[in-house]
Chain A
């Protein structure tokens, strides 16, 4: 019984983790973290502005469907 519960909890954790990771990617949180890692900057207003400046050029060209 415990093993079943553990398996269910593990599956739920994987599912939640994946959904959360997808949301972080869709909402650009993960790219921001990668930007901070890549540039060695601390999260701040200036860092976020720099991230947006670098990222927007590519991102705003991304089409969205109707």
Chain B
């Protein structure tokens, strides 16, 4: 008896000791990660003069993400959201084998990440690199950890607790009808501007580039072939046919080299910007109006296949090569005189980088298909917070890709002709005079190495990212001889990405417009009625096509004015999402923790309002729309002057409408918060009632 008691006591002591040891080791590990992170962030933030290695950025990011996920997201999960593993999710309660479906958490994670990761986190950070690597890196890290991940996480959980309702429905239920209506308008506005901007990026990437144009053109027959193969030859074997499509696309990249070197063929595939713009509009219309299985779905599969593979490959390439960043921490353009886009760090760095830090668009996905697949509430943390962290990591890779280039080369590629001049010697001299040396022969050699005729004035971010990515790939995988192939692979990768956004986005917008028009005239709401399909597809293409055409014709490079417009509308949607989240947190009687969503909301309002004010009223014609219209009025008139003046005034009006929309949602939200906090209004949540999950019992046996 005594021996047993002694043994038991010993066992208990050993268990306690082991437990304490594990705890101590855990604490030590987290302290080490925190110290490493602090050193890395301090090196990135404070190092001046000498170039730094990209691994400092990688280490800073890895440590920040690890700490944020372990501590901050856990705090939110425990203290504010009180995730309940015993509460049945809509995937379980409403399971129908179609959209509502209990799914493995890692599978949902992959699904969610594939939906939120587009070209945005690649292009935005490349453009913002004109300020240096520091502002972009800090915003991507802090923005993601404290704003973007939080938004995606809380919206996902709130949607799970409301039967997978969309953001617009939640805004209507929790804030009021105005919130819902504004959210709807915001989605249409953001889609229209987004599609115009991304189409412009494709035009800038493809203009005067027969190799890239040929490769992208070839993805259309490849997609059609995949569609027919999937439908007729091997029904449903998507992974198999995507692998086949990927091989065919690689062959098209290889073939593009011969096209570019053959003068007759090169002529056929060399298009001006306006011609490309028209071709892209025709493609957008066709993708929206044709059956999904024929073109849209196979291209989507192909793009996802290329996307996931390339992101993984780029991460490996950066770690293997661990390149040096040649871009300084801060450039002289922090004063707002940058050639890539006009405006100071605040607010424009935070507008330009959206998807890598916080994107309102993600809230649509977090309240779209993902909440209908989540098996347990506790998994929303990994899927919502975790997937956005991965997206932020993609943005860090884009910053590295942009900053490994010599700054002179970066500015030569990204500066529009209207600022640095059309002739190579003039452009090189202008950029060198800014303190970023570059020569015409150096640019010529680089263009030759990547198989292009010229790399000057290739604005939009995509070509610069492609050069950086080709640099990383060619130095780590295959050597300098493959530089041209990697460059065109990168161009194809981005254009494929973006065209997928264009075709899917046009279709989504078409459905939204059809839904709305259905209230006016019923047949227009029928998604399979062809006259309605043609009219609404044409309407949506005309809407984004206008912004594309304006960008192509803008002498200052188009992207200059359009990208901030896109950023403003995207951040507006994030503002709506954070208003919804804050309202629900207050209704949950967690007002003392409301700062978790209120602080990013306040920051976004400050950024959006300042950017909008400056875009409308700034006295500099490069920043303010109205100032540019006035400058055009006084300048010698050309055939395009009247239209450019109209465009600028319209942009100012669109920006003004966006601000009014933010104000309305904010006003409605604040009224709701004050009512609840002052006790004049009842905190009535529209959650679905608690139902105990069967999954926990099944797991226990």
- Residues in A lying within 8 Å of B, measured CB to CB: 18-19, 21-29, 31-35, 37-38, 43-45, 47-49, 51-52, 54-66
Contact = CB atoms under 8 A, between A and B. Distances in A.
Contact of A62 (B235, B237, B368): B368
A43 B504 CA distance: 27
B238 interface: yes
Contact of A18 (B98, B104, B297, B570): B104
Contact of A66 (B99, B236, B355, B507): B355
Contacts of A63: 115, 361, 364-365, 368, 504-505, 508
Nearest to A49: B231
A21 B106 CA distance: 9
29 contacts: A22-B107, A22-B109, A22-B111, A24-B239, A27-B242, A28-B301, A33-B236, A43-B235, A45-B232, A47-B235, A48-B231, A48-B236, A49-B293, A51-B236, A55-B98, A56-B297, A58-B98, A59-B292, A60-B296, A63-B364, A64-B118, A65-B116, A65-B117, A65-B359, A66-B119, A66-B194, A66-B354, A66-B359, A66-B570
A26 B359 CA distance: 22
Contact of B365 (A23, A44, A48, A65): A65
B110 interface: yes
Contact of A26 (B104, B111, B292, B364): B111
Contacts of A24: 239
B304 A62 contact: no
Given A23-B239, A64-B500, A66-B198, A52 B361 contact: no
A28 B235 CA distance: 12
Contacts of A25: 103, 107, 110-111
Nearest to B242: A27
B238 A29 contact: yes
A19 B500 CA distance: 23
A27 to B, nearest CB: 4
Given A52-B292, A60-B296, A65-B359, 8 more contacts: A19-B110, A23-B110, A29-B236, A31-B98, A48-B231, A49-B293, A62-B369, A66-B361
A27 B238 CA distance: 6
A21 B114 contact: no
B508 A60 contact: yes
Q: Is the interface of A mostly helix, strand, loop or mixed?
A: helix
Q: Is the interface of B mostly helix, strand, loop or mixed?
A: helix
> Nearest 5 pairs between A and B by C-beta?
A22-B110, A48-B235, A66-B120, A27-B238, A32-B236
Nearest to B528: A57
Contact of A60 (B242, B362, B507): B507
B106 A18 contact: yes
A24 B103 CA distance: 12
In this complex, the member of A26, A29, A55 whose beta carbon has the largest number of chain B beta carbons within 10 angstroms is A26
A64 B110 contact: no
Given A62-B368, A66-B119, A26 B99 contact: no
Chain B interface bracket (under 10, 10 to 19, 20 to 34, 35 or more) = 35 or more
Nearest to A27: B238
Contacts of B101: 34
A24 B238 CA distance: 8
A47 to B, nearest CB: 7
B504 A64 contact: yes
B527 interface: yes
A31 to B, nearest CB: 8
Nearest to A24: B239
A7 B472 CA distance: 35
Interface string B210-235: 00000000000000000000111001
B263 interface: no
A46 to B, nearest CB: 9
Contact of B115 (A32, A34, A49, A65): A65
B689 interface: no
